[in-house]
Amino acid sequence: MSACELIRLVTAQIRIGSTNPPRMESIKNGLKGVFAGKAEVKEDLERIERFDGICFERAENEVHLGKSIVGTAPTSAPGKILKVLVAEKLFMRSANSSTVGKLIGHENELLWSVGPKKGKGNKAAGITTSITRDHSKNISKSVLILDSSGEEYIAVVTRYPSFKRQWYSVHGFHPMVPHQPSQPYKVDGVDQGKSLFNWAKVEKNDSGRIVADLYNKGGEMVIGDQLPMGLLGDNIRLLMKDGRAAAVLRKGQFPTDNGAPQGPVWDCTVAPGIDPLLIICMMAINDDAP
């Protein structure tokens, strides 16, 4: 069976309105073997990106990282996808604070944006600010994801150095699920009246893939290997949730507008029902993890 035939076997699930997004191994197998022509491979991958007939179910009381911030909510209808642009290497782009508790950012430098695929309707854009904190001689580096006003915190992504395996945490400023306990510690530079809540623990597994365990059995997210695209040559990966394709991640130079990320970015197509701001956190970690 040719590569094109295998890809179409996968994308057929989408064309007939399957409620189960295609699984990683099926898609990877479809892109392996005898490479199809560039145009054919591109066409089939774009069909996967449309996520027709697919919507990840969300619990009635499930919230998202952006909560009340306009333009950051997951979509809720099959085929209604979101475009997420994330500047490469957010940890490196953000400024480090030389003094604990002092917040230093790149003023007015928008480093991520979320919006409908066709650029219509509400959009959200924001900055990141990096700080360091020193607790018991254990220095960890955090990236704060802010809204476009630079006034409302959305999430904290923290790197924890380790001799065995470096890992990361994603914390939000509101509970992921009802009655979730807050964390007992604070982050320097953040309003001390704000509580932090566990959203995910992220690390590289033995296969070298970035894996996020979502809090309270909320599932698992995995950034897969680079797809073998043959002549296409793009750096393209799939982000999976519970073994099913949830986002297509493309790396390169992309046109941006309204002051959104400039230069190299990750261009992410996010499936309905997937929190776009969690995708931003995952991309920051993916670029940073050794």
Cβ(246)–Cβ(52) below 8 Å: no
Please report which confidence band the pLDDT of residue 229 belongs to, taking 50, 70 and 90 as the band edges: low
Residue 30 lies in a domain: no
Distance CA 62, CA 166 (A): 29
Residue 159 lies in a domain: yes
Q: Number of folded domains in the chain?
A: 1
91-145 pLDDT per residue, tens: 776 554 433 333 334 455 678 889 887 655 667 888 877 665 555 455 567 787 8
Residue 175 lies in a domain: yes
Range of the domain at 258: 58-288
pLDDT at residue number 62: 82
pLDDT at residue number 68: 82
Residue 9 lies in a domain: no
Distance CA 127, CA 285 (A): 16
pLDDT at residue number 28: 54
Residue 32 lies in a domain: no
Cβ(216)–Cβ(177) below 8 Å: yes
**Which segments within the chain are labelled E, that is strand?**
82-87, 112-116, 124-126, 128-135, 138-146, 153-160, 167-172, 197-204, 210-214, 220-223, 235-241, 244-253, 264-270
Question: At residue 245, does pLDDT exceed 60?
Answer: yes
39-89 pLDDT per residue, tens: 666 777 788 788 888 889 887 778 899 988 888 999 988 889 999 988 888
Residue 155 lies in a domain: yes
Cβ(283)–Cβ(265) below 8 Å: no
Quickly tell me which residue has 């099959």 as its tokens: 78
Pairing between β-strand 138-146 and β-strand 220-223 as defined by DSSP bridges: unpaired
Q: Which of 45-54, 67-76, 189-198, 229-238 has the highest mean pLDDT?
A: 67-76
- Encode 93-128: b = buried (16+ Cβ within 10 Å), e = exposed: bbeebeeeeeeebeeebbbbbbbebeeeeebbbbbb
Residue 23 lies in a domain: no
Residue 36 lies in a domain: no
Higher pLDDT, 156 or 189: 156
